């Protein structure tokens, strides 16, 4: 048998020659087993030579590059799998496909693309020039921080206040759920009622005046209807006409309210007496904060309550929150509202001072910083007689800082606000990763840090500690 000549050029992918059938699996390991295929064996009657035939030299490395196109016909033998050293990684994320077949020219590696910060710059409103000025970066971060807090506050507000039913209409039907009241306040009894319209239904409460209670003034009802929805003011849905519920244990027309109360503040005080002092005093501060927000809305409308009584303040579980969290307070006593005399911004200050001490108890020890702050604030309300808005700011500072030591050392309150906002955002993010849903206290804290300025914090601290 004559020696095989080494090929000088790889055949094309569609050239049907014998040399196209030779496949070299591993030239360094299977040289002794290399034999031409039967289709290329010469037809001769002479016996094969016993001496081994000299092996052809290895193929040039050029013909085994990855840029050659593979044959289009299917392999019929497992020996068609190419063995050898592992393939080199592709450079520049460029794969080899059929469109590159037959191109043996070496392509230079493309340098990786430089990272683009255009999205970050656009989001922060920064240019490349601004990135070299710390003042511009600081202002952009502060603005983005406030924007994020406003977004979180709006989403939480929608969840906590969402689902409010609209006003009642003549086509609505009603059904009484219980023959006994769910809550008895100082002036009214509340019954659970379902309002039905086609496939939709809402759970409401019928507010029935207690026998012998003072009749609600028409002006108070008109004011309650005219107020915009507020988280801490009882909302009305309309009137339940007489005869709509034949099985009802009352007579006459009654008012329907949007929130079904669970208990009054007076009832909560009896049940919460056994709680730890830290939890109890913090919940009292959160209730007083919500009451101050409701009174702030009334003072902005030029009206005042004649009396603040715990039995006429209702508590409701916030929507979408854990039952162990602080309750939502509703101010429901609109029968004793009156126009506020001009020139009296702190019309509710003395009433709030008495309520502070009533909620803390006559012999409440000053065992926690919050309790000590509430006692001090109660004395300041009688002496200074601040507005409900300023009282609310003092309660916010008492709950979430800063401490008076920070102000006494001359620390810039603006810097404290920025750090505190950052810590709140990180705190909410960590809890969200763990699957914990933000609650009422988180929303109230977010509202404080979103609205606060260095001047307002300083004013709140002066009311608390001066």
Distance CA 4, CA 24 (A): 14
Strands 303-305 and 313-316: unpaired
DSSP string for 205-264? EEEEEPTTPPPPPHHHHHHHHHSPP-TTBPPEEEEE-TTS-TT-SS-S-EEEESS---EE
Comparison of pLDDT for 4 and 383, the residue scoring more: 383
Distance CA 220, CA 242 (A): 21
DSSP-based helix, strand, coil % in the chain, nearest 5: 40, 10, 45
For residue 146, the model assigns a pLDDT of: 87
Q: Domain 263-465's class?
A: mainly alpha
Instruction: Determine how many CB atoms are found less than 10 A away from the CB of residue 250.
Output: 16
Judge contact between 19 and 7, C-beta under 8 A: yes
For residue 55, the model assigns a pLDDT of: 61
Domains 173-257 and 263-465 share a fold: no
Please report, rounded to a whole number, the percentage of residues in the chain having pLDDT higher than 90.
Answer: 41
Burial of 243 (0-12, 13-18, 19+ CB in 10 A): exposed
Judge contact between 40 and 23, C-beta under 8 A: no
Distance CA 329, CA 388 (A): 16
Judge contact between 242 and 232, C-beta under 8 A: no
For residue 100, the SS3 value is helix
Distance CA 290, CA 308 (A): 13
Distance CA 32, CA 153 (A): 79
H/E run at residue 190: strand 188-197
Distance CA 166, CA 305 (A): 27
For residue 386, the model assigns a pLDDT of: 96
Encode pLDDT of 258-284 as tens digits.
999 999 999 999 998 778 889 999 999
Encode pLDDT of 124-142 as tens digits.
555 555 555 677 667 777 8
Q: What is the largest CA-CA distance in the chain?
A: 132
- What is the CATH T-level fold of the domain 173-257, as seen in this structure? Phosphorylase Kinase; domain 1 (3.30.200)
pLDDT mean across residues, the chain: 77
For residue 335, the model assigns a pLDDT of: 79
Q: Domain boundaries in the chain?
A: 173-257, 263-465
pLDDT band for position 122 (cuts 50, 70, 90): low
Burial of 349 (0-12, 13-18, 19+ CB in 10 A): buried
Q: Which residues contact 435 (CB under 8 A, 6 or more apart)?
A: none
């Amino acid at each position: 048998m004559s020696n095989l000549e080494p090929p000088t050029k790889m055949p094309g992918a569609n050239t049907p020659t014998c040399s196209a059938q030779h496949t070299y699996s591993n030239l360094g390991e299977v040289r002794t087993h290399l034999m031409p295929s039967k289709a290329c064996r010469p037809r001769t009657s002479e016996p094969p030579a016993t001496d081994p035939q000299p092996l052809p030299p290895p193929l040039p490395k050029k013909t085994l590059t990855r840029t050659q196109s593979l044959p289009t016909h299917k392999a019929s033998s497992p020996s068609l799998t190419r063995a050898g050293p592992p393939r080199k990684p592709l450079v520049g994320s460029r794969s080899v496909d059929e469109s590159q077949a037959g191109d043996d020219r070496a392509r230079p590696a493309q340098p990786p693309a430089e990272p683009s910060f255009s999205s970050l710059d656009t989001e922060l409103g920064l240019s490349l020039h601004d990135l070299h000025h710390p003042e511009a970066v600081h202002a952009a971060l502060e603005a983005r921080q406030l924007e994020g807090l406003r977004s979180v506050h709006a989403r939480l507000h929608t969840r906590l206040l969402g689902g409010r039913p609209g006003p009642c209409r003549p086509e609505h039907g009603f059904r009484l759920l219980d023959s006994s009241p769910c809550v008895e306040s100082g002036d009214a009894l509340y019954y659970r009622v379902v309002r039905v319209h086609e496939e939709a239904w809402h759970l409401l409460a019928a507010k029935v005046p207690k026998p012998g209670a003072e009749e609600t003034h028409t002006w108070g009802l008109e004011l309650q209807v005219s107020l915009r929805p507020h988280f801490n003011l009882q909302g009305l849905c309309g009137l339940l006409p007489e005869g709509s519920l034949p099985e009802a244990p009352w007579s006459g027309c009654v008012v329907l309210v949007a929130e079904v109360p669970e208990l009054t503040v007076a009832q909560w005080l009896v049940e919460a007496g056994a709680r730890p002092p830290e939890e109890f005093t913090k919940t009292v501060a959160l209730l007083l904060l919500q009451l101050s927000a409701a009174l702030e809305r009334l003072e902005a409308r030029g009206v005042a309550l004649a009396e603040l009584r715990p039995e006429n303040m209702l508590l409701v579980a916030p929507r979408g929150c854990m039952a162990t969290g602080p309750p939502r307070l509703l101010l429901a006593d609109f029968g004793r509202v009156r126009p506020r005399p001009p020139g009296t911004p702190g019309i509710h200050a003395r009433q709030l001072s008495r309520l502070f001490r009533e909620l803390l108890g006559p012999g409440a020890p000053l065992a926690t910083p919050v309790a000590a702050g509430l006692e001090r604030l109660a004395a300041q309300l009688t002496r200074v007689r601040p507005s409900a808005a300023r009282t609310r700011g003092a309660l916010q500072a008492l709950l979430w800082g800063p401490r008076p030591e920070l102000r006494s050392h001359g620390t810039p309150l603006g810097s404290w606000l920025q750090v505190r906002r950052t810590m709140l955002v990180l705190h909410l993010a960590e809890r969200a990763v763990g699957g914990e849903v933000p609650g009422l206290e988180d929303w109230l804290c977010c509202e404080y840090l979103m609205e606060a300025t260095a001047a307002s914090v300083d004013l709140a601290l002066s009311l608390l500690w001066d």
